[in-house]
């Protein structure tokens, strides 16, 4: 299995690098076209951080591994909260002041409920996939309208995004990195899916569990790097906003693609084990970040609890698989 392991490691590495290059290039193109940094952050950056999950989901679905794609969507959301936010808050406690973040949090809850309703019948069909992907389009329109409103320019996220957009990159360089990043994303996604599926079959592990663990962890590496770096630069609202945006797009696009491309049944254990874990973590995250009596805050204690929840969930997956 050395070739498969090498493909996974190389896929993870290339996936992280290519996602960063794609986001930087696409953001620079938008900036050179006079798009505001806030709109760039709310759309291109949010979608870009989910690009690894989206590409892996598309490749897995086209190859008939819908369960891996579903596991990737739910596993990435669990990892984004329990591990990415958990580790980040343990390093730097997160304070949330952005009104945009407060508006996106209820949307995340609503999207989570919508996705649950669609898969409660035990299937993820083409109509379900179409509904979820249509929701992604509506989400992009909604956040763009937020970015266009003058009052949003006073939001803390506006200043933070303005400091992150690569303003010095020329249009030619931006176009080159966007294309290179997109091609590398596709290549690394194929490498990762091939390696993960091969190992799963050789070890007798289900595609769902591989998607929930190895693949979800690998595709979430860009979020982990971005979240920690944003927090260290005191850009807490971006750190939180990236996780919220990524989780929304994971449910709408990453979960929608297998329904549209490779419709089929949803493993019953998803509804009894994985989705409830994601719901519980998201609700706790909502309570911490919303800030009902002032700014939201995720403390080091909260971050530690998230990380412990991640360890507990991985343990649950292990015993569920060996039972």
Per-residue pLDDT of 195-254, as tens digits, reads 888 887 787 788 888 888 888 888 887 778 778 888 888 888 888 888 998 899 999 999
Residues 115, 235: contact at Cβ < 8 Å? no
CATH at residue 88:
1.20.1420.30
Report the candidate in 32, 88, 129, 316 with the shortest Cα–Cα distance to residue 224: 88
Q: What is the pLDDT of residue 125?
A: 95
Scanning the chain, the segments in alpha helix (DSSP H) are: 2-32, 37-40, 46-49, 51-62, 66-79, 86-91, 99-119, 126-148, 156-164, 171-203, 207-210, 216-219, 221-232, 236-249, 256-261, 268-269, 275-290, 300-322
Q: What is the pLDDT of residue 203?
A: 78
Mean pLDDT value across the chain: 87
Residues 310, 83: contact at Cβ < 8 Å? yes
The predicted-structure confidence for 74-108, as pLDDT tens digits, reads as follows 999 999 999 999 999 999 999 988 888 888 999 99
The predicted-structure confidence for 61-79, as pLDDT tens digits, reads as follows 998 888 999 999 999 999 9
* Tokens 């590409």, located at residue: 55
d(CA 292, CA 290): 6
Sign of torsion over alpha carbons 71, 77, 80, 86: negative
Strand partners, 264: 124
Give me the half-sphere count of Cα atoms (radius 13 Å) on the Cβ side of residue 292: 5
Residues 8, 195: contact at Cβ < 8 Å? yes
Report the candidate in 118, 120, 127, 111 with the shortest Cα–Cα distance to residue 50: 111
* Tokens 């091939």, located at residue: 194
Share of the chain above pLDDT 90, in %: 40
Q: What residue numbers bound the domain in which 152 lies?
A: 2-322
Q: How many CB atoms lie within 10 A of CB 231?
A: 23
Q: What is the pLDDT of residue 198?
A: 85
Widest distance between CA atoms in the chain: 57
123 three-state secondary structure: strand
d(CA 246, CA 229): 16
Number of domains in the chain: 1
Show the tokens assigned to 307.
Answer: 């990380």
In the predicted model, is pLDDT for residue 269 greater than 90? yes
Report the candidate in 276, 251, 290 with the shortest Cα–Cα distance to residue 114: 251
Report the candidate in 62, 67, 59, 53 with the shortest Cα–Cα distance to residue 206: 67
* Tokens 């992907």, located at residue: 133
In the predicted model, is pLDDT for residue 151 greater than 70? no
- Segment 32-60 shows an average pLDDT of 82
Residue 96 main-chain phi, psi, to 5 deg: -115, 120
d(CA 177, CA 170): 11
Tell me which of 284 and 55 has the higher pLDDT. 284
Highest mean pLDDT among 53-57, 164-168, 289-293, 311-315: 311-315
24 three-state secondary structure: helix
């Amino acid at each position: 299995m050395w070739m498969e392991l090498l493909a996974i490691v190389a896929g993870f590495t290339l996936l992280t690098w290519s996602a960063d290059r794609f986001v930087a290039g696409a953001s620079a193109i938008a900036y050179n076209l006079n798009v505001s940094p806030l709109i760039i952050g709310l759309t291109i950056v949010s979608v870009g951080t989910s690009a690894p999950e989206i590409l892996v989901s598309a490749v897995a679905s086209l190859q008939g591994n819908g369960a891996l794609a579903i596991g990737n969507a739910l596993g990435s959301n669990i990892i984004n909260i329990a591990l990415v936010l958990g580790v980040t808050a343990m390093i730097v406690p997160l304070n949330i002041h952005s009104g945009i973040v407060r508006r996106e949090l209820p949307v995340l809850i609503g999207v989570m409920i919508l996705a649950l309703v669609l898969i409660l019948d035990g299937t993820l069909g083409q109509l379900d996939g179409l509904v979820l992907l249509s929701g992604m389009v509506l989400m992009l329109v909604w956040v763009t309208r937020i970015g266009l409103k003058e009052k949003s320019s006073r939001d803390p996220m506006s200043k933070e995004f303005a400091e992150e957009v690569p303003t010095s990159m020329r249009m030619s360089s931006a176009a080159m990195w966007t294309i290179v990043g997109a091609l590398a994303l596709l290549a690394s996604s194929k490498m990762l899916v091939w390696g993960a599926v091969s190992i799963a079959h050789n070890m007798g592990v289900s595609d769902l569990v591989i998607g929930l663990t190895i693949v979800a962890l690998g595709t979430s590496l860009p979020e982990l790097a971005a979240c920690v770096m944003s927090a260290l630069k005191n850009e807490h609202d971006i750190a939180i906003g990236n996780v919220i945006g990524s989780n929304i797009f994971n449910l709408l696009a990453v979960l929608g693609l297998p329904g549209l491309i490779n419709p089929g049944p949803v493993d019953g254990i998803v509804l009894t084990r994985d989705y409830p874990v994601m719901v519980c973590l998201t609700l706790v995250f909502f309570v911490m970040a919303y800030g009902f009596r002032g700014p939201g805050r995720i403390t080091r204690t909260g971050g530690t609890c998230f990380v412990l929840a991640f360890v507990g969930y991985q343990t649950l997956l292990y015993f569920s698989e060996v039972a």
